[in-house]
Structure 1
Amino acid sequence: MKRKVFLIIWDGWGIADNPAVSAIDAAYTPFYDWARERFPFVKLEASGEAVGLPPGQMGNSEVGHLHIGAGFVVWQDLWRIQRALDRGEVMALPAFQNLLAYLQRDKGCALHLMGLVSDGGVHSSLGHLLGLLRLLREAALPNPLYLHAFTDGRDTPPRSAATYLHIVQEALQTLPNARLATMIGRYYAMDRDRRWERTRLAYRLLRYGEGETFPSFEAALAHHYNQGITDEFLPPVVIGEPAPLQPSEAVLFFNFRNDRPRQLVQALFTGEIPETQGSRAPVPYPADLEPLPLHFVTLTEYDPAFTERGVHYLFGKVHVEKPLGACIAEAGGSQLRIAETEKYPHVTYFLNGGREEPFPGEARILIPSPKVATYDLQPEMSAPQVRDALMPHLQEGTLDFICLNFANPDMVGHTGVWAAAVKACETVDACTAPLVQTALEKGYTVLLIADHGNADCMIAEDGTPHTAHTTAPVPCILMSPQQLPYRLRPGLLPQVAPTVLTLMGLKPPPNMLPPLIEPLE
């Protein structure tokens, strides 16, 4: 390789347009300040159409890492599914046709819709849910339809659930036999870290109707808001008469992102499936989570192992044939990916274009994330341990490519706790400094970027905590032990992969965008 490259991704580190609400600007970050002044620095677009999303849609870690590795714009599920719904293409999909046929065979068979009811656009889309309800109305099925709503408050304001539920309630009223049946916060229904005690609450709500009963979602939300419980942490709620899942009924899970529904799908339908991404500690599967025989449909393919066990899906994956890691492997290069648990799938699976297995010559290091309820309780997370685990590999200096993710600004930013987010940013800055110093001493060219914004906006316009991602541009700093014969240009997040390859002396594939660097005249 012409050069060794060290790619650092600060997760959730955007460039604020209002420094007054930015934990990043409030933090003491001597390394970041030095790097911006000392080396070429530009901004990258990491939201909206730059990363295959609708205009104005905030980016996220999955989309961000996919594009960092892909090198071109990959139109995302959020956008392509909405276009398919708007064009009437979903009705003709085999899995949707099979679902309708299944329901038509037994008019008393209930259809249970479940998923995150939110316009956050990270895990689900309100537009997708409304589009599916429209199609079901057009199908004129008399079957009972029950909506099991997972409330957000993480990618949306903490007390915003009623806004979305009112909209969905109106749509449900246009169907002959449809209603909202249950509610539960995503903290429980969408755990992805094998905290089965959380998944169990969602399972028992859906399976047995176990939850506190309220006459309406408004009453349920008001009751819990008065106790200081916000949308993300809403405990199991039954609206009116219970409508638990019964054997042989149908389910349509309308989240489009595949990581957070997996545990609940296992509990309800497939049973235990070994972790395919290797990103979670081995926690025993609870014996009391007994699956049901159901006709189970998901909006996208959550896991090939689910498909093998009978889960149907409407939309398959968009494949990235030759991502950054494949190009390095093809050239015979060695590479290392390192992150803590929360972001390990991102530097492996997503950066590799949705590929589970490592490429030849690709090593991986997983550092466990701390077991705390929320990361404001430990804003340092496992950043010091990540730093310490990586340092010997940098000192050895033999790897051709290293990709590191620090999770803190994103994961702590999601809590909405200002002081914790400031501490998270300071931790990342302090942990990065010695790594970069060592990397430069060992001849690495260092590219410091972020995948999307988050900690750059911690306070909403109304003064409440802001817990969602942002559409802010992200930094890109090019550091090298010697003067590089390149000029760094502003650009898009997908231009990172061709930039890395160019720095390494490798030719990017023709489908990749131009690199962020151009030769000096």
Structure 2
Amino acid sequence: MPLTLHRHQAFSGRPGPLLLIIADGVGIAPAGPSNAVTEADTPSLDALLASPLSTQLLAHGAAVGLPSDDDMGNSEVGHNALGAGRIFAQGAKLVNKALADGSLFATDVWRTAIEHGRPHTMHFIGLHSDGNVHSSNEQLHQLLERAAEEGVRRVRVHILLDGRDVPSRSALDYIAQTEQVLQKINENHDADYRIASGGGRMTITMDRYQADWQMVKRGYDCHTHGIGRGFRSATEAVETMYAESDAGDQYLDAFVIVDDDGLPVGAMDDGDAVVLYNFRGDRSIEISQAYEDPHFDAFDRGRHPDVYFCGMLQYDGDKLVPKHYLVDPPVIERTMSEYLCAAGVRSFAISETQKFGHVTYFWNGNRSGYIDEALETYVEIPSDNVQFDTTPAMKVREITARTIELLRSGTFRFGRLNFPSGDMVGHTGHLPATIEAMEVIDECVAELVEVIDELGGMLVYTADHGNADIMFTEADGVRSPKTSHTLSPVPFVIHDSLYASEYQLVPPPNAGLSNVAATLFELLGYQAPPGYRSSLLRF
């Protein structure tokens, strides 16, 4: 299908640029003490939300391609939907289908992993929870059971503790469930299946955007070489570290399970198979590269065993990482960026490192790099390597200052930015810090509104999923931090100082993030491309 945009018959846009602000993790939930969004002093955001050009959008479940409406949205699928204007079956849904119809187990990749696992050891690495954002324990358990049925007798599981997409100290429950599965397999198949290593997802293995390669090295050394604090079981490891600090699961240190002689039970060796069972890409790319890149130089891997490595999905289709994968990722083409470039529209995308890939790679349909470097400018502000409750503003002010420069340059017709702090600070579970993060966002949105008005442009404010809107749950008077995303809808607001009732905001039933792209095209003065989800506007 040709990438052709046609001018809108009723609206030609405004003389100035269109700016899209994505306030990551800022959903809409009832006001109350657990809602950092409403507890914060945010006069600018309050004014936007009270305007007649304001509504709410679905950002979870089926609205973003996830299996059910019990599944929280996330930044990856949210930006896919925003940038593509349609709903695509996403990670968990794709994998569930491939497991249910057996196609995953019919792949050459699975068969090769089994062939390595039978005479050697088969290793499974991944986030260990039922959060369904990066992985699913139910999927892991199905893989383990199938490996046993196909004759693999020795398996080691390397668990990354969550505490981010699920309650902050829930690891013991998940460990107990997996230990039960492993015990049943061992009894039924005379096998040796056990947990071998682990650690918190924000401490080892799951870095993204090359922000902290030492984090990946800690995970690689732990899983591969058995380097870490030794314990006799994963339960003992977690219970001990719980007693030593108030840290949530995501921040627990690396640990390894050792035998009676103090030796690691799950160090990898030549000929082993390694399966990374995460289905989300951003935090899976770097550890994949560490295992499979023969020219890897981000850190010293020591003696690198010759293993057969595969991922659940291919996490980067342009860089072909990993080379071997079990389920084909969604094919996302005809994105908004492709159409704008084909029409010669200049645009920019900006965020800090933690969310830069979301306004570029994920927005562009899981595609690395520029669509057209002559027409696009991507700006990455380096993130600090800290726990983000210690720096609630993150780089929001720096993103704003650079965005104002880009807008005033007169070069760009469209720009998109991601303010990451609602999500990244929200994930820490620290309510006062998240309130502060929201107040900084409010301050910066006010600056951007002023500049957009000065330039005769328009500003759209939305989010990709909820998080900061529910910071704790309460039962019997006891508050428990909620560090996961929420099922909340997200705001969608158009700020247009030149508005003269040329259009109305009339969302279709069950409007979601995938309706945004068509709306943006219309605000730019174009008709939405064929096949895109309908616009939120009526002319």
TM-score normalised over the length of structure 2: 0.89
> Structure 1 residues 162, 118: CA separation in 2 closer, same or farther (over 3 Å shift)?
same
Distance 1:328 1:267 in 2: 36
> 1:183 — aligned with what?
198
- Which of 506, 514, 520 is residue 534 of structure 2 equivalent to? 514
Q: Contact 1:200/1:289 (CA < 8 Å) preserved in 2?
A: no
Distance 1:354 1:438 in 2: 31
Q: Contact 2:116/2:122 (CA < 8 Å) preserved in 1?
A: no
Equivalences for residues 162-241 of structure 1 within 5 A: 162-175=172-185, 176-187=191-202, 188-192=204-208, 193-228=210-245, 229-241=247-259
- Which of 88, 103, 108 is residue 102 of structure 2 equivalent to? 88
Deviation of the 1:137 alpha carbon = 2.8
Deviation of the 1:477 alpha carbon = 0.6
Distance 1:61 1:401 in 2: 21
* Correspondence 1:489 to 2:506: yes
Q: Contact 1:266/1:291 (CA < 8 Å) preserved in 2?
A: no
Q: Deviations over 1:4-30 (max 9, x none)?
A: 421111101100135331001110101
Distance 1:255 1:154 in 2: 15
> 2:133 — aligned with what?
122
- Which of 118, 124, 137 is residue 113 of structure 1 equivalent to? 124
Q: Match of 1:494, as an amino acid?
A: S
Q: Contact 1:266/1:272 (CA < 8 Å) preserved in 2?
A: no
> Structure 1 residues 305, 83: CA separation in 2 closer, same or farther (over 3 Å shift)?
closer
User: Higher mean Cα deviation, 321-330 or 191-200?
Assistant: 191-200
> 1:344 — aligned with what?
356
Alignment identity in percent?
34
Q: Contact 1:347/1:403 (CA < 8 Å) preserved in 2?
A: yes
Q: Contact 1:272/1:285 (CA < 8 Å) preserved in 2?
A: no
Distance 2:74 2:339 in 1: 24
Q: Contact 1:269/1:292 (CA < 8 Å) preserved in 2?
A: no
> 1:278 — aligned with what?
none
Q: Contact 2:23/2:464 (CA < 8 Å) preserved in 1?
A: yes
* Correspondence 1:259 to 2:275: no
Structure 2 stretches of 5 or more lacking a match?
Answer: 1-6, 186-190
Q: Deviations over 1:430-458 (max 9, x none)?
A: 01111111112212121111110000011
Distance 1:467 1:102 in 2: 38
- Which of 429, 450, 456 is residue 443 of structure 1 equivalent to? 456
Q: Contact 2:273/2:309 (CA < 8 Å) preserved in 1?
A: yes
Q: Match of 1:166, as an amino acid?
A: A
Q: Contact 1:86/1:131 (CA < 8 Å) preserved in 2?
A: no
Deviation of the 1:247 alpha carbon = 1.5
> 1:10 — aligned with what?
23
Equivalences for residues 76-475 of structure 1 within 5 A: 76-104=90-118, 107=119, 109-139=120-150, 141-175=151-185, 176-187=191-202, 188-192=204-208, 193-228=210-245, 229-241=247-259, 242=264, 243-271=266-294, 285-289=298-302, 291-304=304-317, 307=320, 311-360=323-372, 361-372=375-386, 374-462=387-475, 463-475=479-491
Q: Contact 1:14/1:475 (CA < 8 Å) preserved in 2?
A: yes
SS at match of 1:333: coil
SS at match of 2:474: coil
Q: Contact 1:48/1:59 (CA < 8 Å) preserved in 2?
A: yes
Deviation of the 1:213 alpha carbon = 2.2
SS at match of 1:460: strand
Q: Contact 2:175/2:235 (CA < 8 Å) preserved in 1?
A: no
> Structure 1 residues 405, 451: CA separation in 2 closer, same or farther (over 3 Å shift)?
same
User: Higher mean Cα deviation, 123-132 or 235-244?
Assistant: 235-244
Structure 1 stretches of 5 or more lacking a match?
Answer: 274-283
For this pair of structures, how many residues does the alignment match? 503
Q: Contact 2:317/2:367 (CA < 8 Å) preserved in 1?
A: no
Q: Contact 2:94/2:329 (CA < 8 Å) preserved in 1?
A: no
Q: Contact 2:113/2:122 (CA < 8 Å) preserved in 1?
A: no
Distance 2:228 2:417 in 1: 42
Deviation of the 1:393 alpha carbon = 2.1
> Structure 1 residues 306, 438: CA separation in 2 closer, same or farther (over 3 Å shift)?
closer
TM-score normalised over the length of structure 1: 0.92
> Structure 1 residues 507, 114: CA separation in 2 closer, same or farther (over 3 Å shift)?
same
Distance 2:51 2:290 in 1: 52
Q: Contact 1:185/1:233 (CA < 8 Å) preserved in 2?
A: yes
Equivalences for residues 15-54 of structure 1 within 5 A: 15-53=28-66, 54=68
Q: Deviations over 1:169-191 (max 9, x none)?
A: 12112322211111211121212
CA RMSD of aligned residues (A): 1.8
Deviation of the 1:142 alpha carbon = 4.1
Q: Contact 1:82/1:127 (CA < 8 Å) preserved in 2?
A: no
